[in-house]
Each structure stands twice: as C-alpha cells, then as structure tokens.
C-alpha cells in the first residue's frame, strides 16, 4: 500500500495526513452522533452536566476522531491531553485537535527505560508493548522507545480519564495517584482475555471508584 511507504515529514506525507482528516473522515465528522467503537462517547457526554466544560486525558488515543472516546467532548468545548506511542497518530492529532496537548511517548510504570514498541502499521489501533507475545512480534515492526511515567507526561488535573493500552492498562493505572488527580469518571478497556480484570476492579474500589457500566470491552468507573 502506498500509505505504508510514506515518510514522515515529507510533502506527500503531509498531504496524506490532511486527506485522512479533511477528506476521508469529512462525512464521518458531519453525519455521526458517536465516534466511539461502542457508543462510549454518548454515555460519557450524558454522564456530565449538559453545559459542563472539563478536561480529559486519553492514553492510547490512536486517532483524533475514529474510534475516539474523547472527540465528542472536544467538539463540545472540552480540552485535554492525548498520549500515543505512534508518532503518526500524534501528527494527526496536531492537525485535527490543536487545542489539545498531543504527546508521543511510551507510557509505563518506569521512567527513562528503553522498551520495545511493536507497530502493526502506521495507521493501526493495535500497536503494543507486550514482549511476551512472540506470535504478534513477528508480524509487527519493532521500535525502541524510552518510557515515561504518567506524572512526567500529565501536568494538569482532569475530569475524565480514558485508558486503552492493549493489555498494559493495569500496569499504568496503578501508577496514577488518584488522590492527586481527581477524575469523576474513568473508562478502561478490559479485553475478554485480560488477566487483570479482577486487579483493576480491586484497585478502583481501593480509591472509591464504583463500576457503573460497560460498553462491550469499555468499563466505566465513577468516583
């Protein structure tokens, strides 16, 4: 595919980014009431008061519109921080969501450690850091990246936290000081095969968060 051969920073690369934002998803932006995979954004916006304008943090943000749990909030005036390990994703965010802080990094429980990031392709929502999955390693491009912790990356409080880190959700969640940061609502992706579901529920209960709803693999916890 031609899009796989494009080099970041080149003229044709920039054209393709703008094509993705302003042509390919033009009708998506205008016609759809939900941009999430399972309608999560509808639940999120209904959870907060109608005229409330808050802030969000989106870990594993992927795309500024497609499959996004925060784009509908952005359209309603919210702002926040979007974090993803894929630089192409962040390039898209910098075009489509200029009011946000858009950060390319490998977020982890450790700081300044070189880890492998596996990129399925530049436009995939399934990039990951799981070095134990040898079958997936063989199918993905490996890149070395320095890790950063949540507190190194996020320097503001927020009302909504979205975590979608391809099975590394619990590893990062347990490093977030939920006494310092005070989100009213947290959404965590918990896959059916996840080994950490019980740990996530126990951790949320420890910080007085109550499970209130799931939209397929997206689980919502209210403070």
Give residue limits of the domains in the chain: 2-222
The C-alpha atoms of residue 93 and residue 10 are separated, in whole angstroms, by: 17
The correct CATH number of 2-222 out of 3.40.50.300, 3.10.20.30, 3.40.50.150, 3.40.1160.10 is 3.40.50.150
Q: Which residue would you say has higher pLDDT here, 20 or 25?
A: 20
Which tens digit of pLDDT belongs to each residue from 159-169? 999 999 877 89
**pLDDT tens-digit series, residues 73-98:** 999 999 999 999 888 899 999 999 99
- Rounded average pLDDT over 36-60: 96
- Radius of gyration of the chain measured on its C-alpha atoms: 17
Strand, coil or helix: 7: coil
- The strand order across the sheet containing 114-119 reads 106-107, 141-148, 114-119
Q: What is the pLDDT of residue 24?
A: 66
Least confident range of 59-63, 114-118, 127-131 = 127-131
Residue 115 pLDDT level (bands cut at 50, 70, 90)? confident
Q: What is the 3-state secondary structure (H, E, C) of 91-117?
A: HHHHHHCCCCEEEECEECCCCCCEEEE
Calculate helix-pair angle for 11-18, 87-96, nearest 10 degrees: 60
Q: What are the tokens at 69?
A: 């749990």
Q: Which is higher by pLDDT, 88 or 221? A: 221
Phi-psi region of 194 (alpha: psi -120 to 50; beta: other; left: phi over 0): beta
Angle at 159 between CA 216 and CA 207, to 5 degrees: 75
Average pLDDT of span 171-180: 94
Looking at residue 132, its pLDDT comes to 47
């Amino acid at each position: 595919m031609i899009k796989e051969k494009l080099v970041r920073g080149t003229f044709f690369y920039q054209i393709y980014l703008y094509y993705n934002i302003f042509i390919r998803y033009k009708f998506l932006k205008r016609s759809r009431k939900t941009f999430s995979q399972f309608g999560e954004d509808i639940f999120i916006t209904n959870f907060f008061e109608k005229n409330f304008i808050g802030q969000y943090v989106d870990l594993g943000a992927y795309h500024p519109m497609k499959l996004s749990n925060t784009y509908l909030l952005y359209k309603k005036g919210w702002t926040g921080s979007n974090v993803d390990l894929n630089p192409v994703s962040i390039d898209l965010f910098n075009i489509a969501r200029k009011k946000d802080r858009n950060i390319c990094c490998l977020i982890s429980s450790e700081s300044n450690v070189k880890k492998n990031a596996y990129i399925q392709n530049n436009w995939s929502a399934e990039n990951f850091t799981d070095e134990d999955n040898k079958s997936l390693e063989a199918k993905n491009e490996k890149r070395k990246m320095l890790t950063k912790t949540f507190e190194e990356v996020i320097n503001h409080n927020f009302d909504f936290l979205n975590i979608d880190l391809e099975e590394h959700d619990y590893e990062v969640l347990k490093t977030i000081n939920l006494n310092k940061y005070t989100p009213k609502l947290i959404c965590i992706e918990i896959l059916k095969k996840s080994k950490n579901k019980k740990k996530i529920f126990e951790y949320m209960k420890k910080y007085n968060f109550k499970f209130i709803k799931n939209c397929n693999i997206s689980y919502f916890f209210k403070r």
